[in-house]
A = this chain, B = another copy of it.
């Protein structure tokens, strides 16, 4: 059999629950989606649990599963994926943290083995500081503590990531972030020998971040303006950057990811997939869906597998705006339409979502997402349109995100036989 290529289109957070403002339909059911429907009509449909039935998936865990990596094995905490998401060069074994720039009041001291005393956090988000965080991050980036280097990079608003690189570090270090205002930072505690080293470094880093930032020009300016200073970095969510076999080794083919968000781009780069720049892909409701389609088509020239994630539907879910989500779904539909118009008939095309982001909930839920796959080797079922409920009677039944690569590589004719 001839080998074929495959494309997976992921409408980020595209699945939903019935919406009263849409007459009890979901955005997918309410939107005009002739192209998605044609994939369902010509192909085979079903429901997918990104992680498992009822499990609320993140975009990171879901994409890992869909790309063939078991998140229960490789995901120890958000830290490494947060760092990947903002473009840090994460390497296997790095210990990573999510951080806030926060406002501390008082004179911080740290006893040999903790605790922190003499000061308390007055705003964990430094009034959601939006300017100057790049300078603040640069001021504490690259610090050496013992034989460990501490890398810091700012993210949006008050958020940042911290990466510890050095020998003998473990991920079992508790949070410095006290998780509510009015408390001193918590001295991190390690669960084992290696994590105790991490905790020790982390506490030192926290103290030194305050020593460096409290007199930083950005904070002098903020205080002159009557604002709280962003004078300390509070890490939380320790995770170790896992060993992930490169996508090409795992699946025996070249893969590319056409994506809009830093988090998914970071994961794809970590898997050494090709991640092209896509001018016009804003990651917002105004993104250029045709640019995403064009990039996907371009990647298909030299890759066997392309994953394309369009972020817009998720925004409508998080913002609880039905019409915006319907419009975003129609963007996904046009993206798929352009792809089908331009690409060879012998590819396999899968349409799905990485999780549900119901308008009624405003965040990810663990409901199933619809899945449709068309292409030359599919056995078409009787489903006529693409939607959460239309696919329930489809031939694929109910599968998991972690099944997707096997299903696709089987259709593509590129999978090794298991047995004789």
Contacts and interface: CB of A to CB of B under 8 A. Distances in A.
A94 interface: no
A419 B73 CA distance: 13
Looking at A17, A417, A419, which has the most chain B CB atoms within 10 Å of its CB?
A: A419
Contacts of A411: 54
Contacts of A363: 1, 417
A209 to B, nearest CB: 23
Contacts of A18: 379-380
B52 A420 contact: no
B397 A58 contact: no
Interface string A192-217: 00000000000000000000000000
A416 B377 contact: no
Given A397-B392, A419-B59, A54 B379 contact: no
Nearest to A55: B406
A362 interface: yes
B420 A366 contact: no
Contact of A418 (B56, B378, B397): B56
Given A403-B53, A410-B54, A381 B377 contact: no
Contact of A398 (B60, B82, B398): B398
A361 to B, nearest CB: 5
Interface string A376-414: 011111100000110011111111100111111111010
A389 B55 CA distance: 27
A241 interface: no
Given A18-B380, A53-B407, A55-B406, A419 B71 contact: yes
Given A55-B406, A410-B366, A420 B60 contact: yes
Contact of A419 (B57, B377, B397, B419): B57
Contacts of A333: none
A418 B55 contact: yes
Interface string A32-70: 000000000000000100011111111111100000000
A263 interface: yes
Contacts of A311: none
Contact of A1 (B361, B378, B381): B361
A3 to B, nearest CB: 11
A116 interface: no
Given A17-B377, A59-B419, A394-B392, A403 B71 contact: no
A406 B17 contact: no
Residue of A17, A398, A400, A418 with most partner-chain B CB within 10 A: A418
B389 A420 contact: no
A78 interface: yes
Contacts of A75: 418-419
A416 B363 CA distance: 11
A418 B57 contact: yes
Going nearest first, the 6 A-B pairs with the smallest beta carbon separation are A58-B419, A54-B406, A61-B419, A54-B407, A366-B410, A397-B398
25 contacts: A26-B379, A47-B395, A47-B397, A52-B406, A53-B400, A54-B403, A54-B404, A55-B410, A56-B415, A56-B418, A58-B418, A58-B420, A60-B419, A62-B419, A75-B419, A81-B420, A82-B420, A263-B420, A361-B413, A366-B407, A367-B379, A381-B392, A396-B398, A397-B397, A397-B398
